[in-house]
Amino acid sequence: MVVSIDKLMLWRVDSWKKYGPNECISMSLRILCDQLLITTESKVLETINMNEKIKGIYKGDVLVLFIRRTAQEIRKIKFQIKNNTDHCLELLNKYFPVVSHNSRPNNIRPRYRNIEEVLTYALNKKDLTSCTTDLPPSFKNFVKLCLLDPSFPKLVQETQKFLNCKINKNSDFTE
């Protein structure tokens, strides 16, 4: 996906950095391998991993992205979509929530409040073989990135140890 954008502003520390009309010439928004790129003809201005916590809020053809990288760092990016606004918002909504500025949040009640409740439910479920989940196509790139990460096997081992510990802990109570 390539979408032309205009009026780019990036939040830096405590103020907006505005890109002037000369800097915004042929500026575009691109999605490539689960990365959201903001580019000009000659350089990449911003790259955002789409697996981070991102939320988009739009009003008309202006979109503001909020990206939470760490508990202390929240990035904000604001820009105007030049054309095909609905198509752009629809594509971005496949990766992260994009909501209208005028919409009111639903009173959604989460099924689980924390990871302990999720694990308890999963471990107490008797027939785990009937559970199937179709993963979104965007996870293919995420899996590729994980497999390329040299620390990924260690993470898998630690996760497996943790789950085995939880399974053994629960089996002690059920017997």
Q: Is 6 strand, coil or helix?
A: strand
Tokens for 4, please give them.
Answer: 């032309």
CA distance 24 to 20: 6
Same domain, 62 and 86: yes
Same domain, 84 and 132: no
Same domain, 92 and 120: no
Determine, yes or no, domain membership for 107.
Answer: no
CATH number of the domain to which 73 belongs: 2.30.29.30
Same domain, 137 and 63: no
Cut 0.85: pTM above it: no
Which is more confidently placed, 105 or 136?
A: 136
Same domain, 85 and 123: no
CA distance 97 to 11: 20
- 138: closest CA among 33, 26, 66, 19? 33
- 170: closest CA among 112, 122, 128, 131? 122
Determine, yes or no, domain membership for 166.
Answer: yes
Determine, yes or no, domain membership for 33.
Answer: yes
Same domain, 41 and 64: yes
CA distance 171 to 175: 6
Same domain, 70 and 129: no
What pairing do the DSSP bridges indicate for beta strands 35-39 and 62-68? unpaired
Which is more confidently placed, 82 or 131?
A: 82
Task: From 100, 128, 145, give the residue that closes a domain.
Answer: 100
Same domain, 93 and 14: yes
Confidence of residue 173 (pLDDT cuts 50, 70, 90): very low
Range of the domain at 124: 115-174
Same domain, 20 and 60: yes
Give the count of domains, the chain. 2
Q: What is the mean pLDDT of the chain?
A: 77
Structure confidence at residue 158 (pLDDT): 92
Task: From 66, 100, 134, give the residue that closes a domain.
Answer: 100
Task: From 65, 100, 135, give the residue that closes a domain.
Answer: 100
In tens, the pLDDT along 9-40 reads 877 667 777 876 666 667 888 888 888 888 88
CA distance 5 to 29: 7
Structure confidence at residue 157 (pLDDT): 92
Same domain, 90 and 126: no
Same domain, 127 and 168: yes
Determine, yes or no, domain membership for 105.
Answer: no
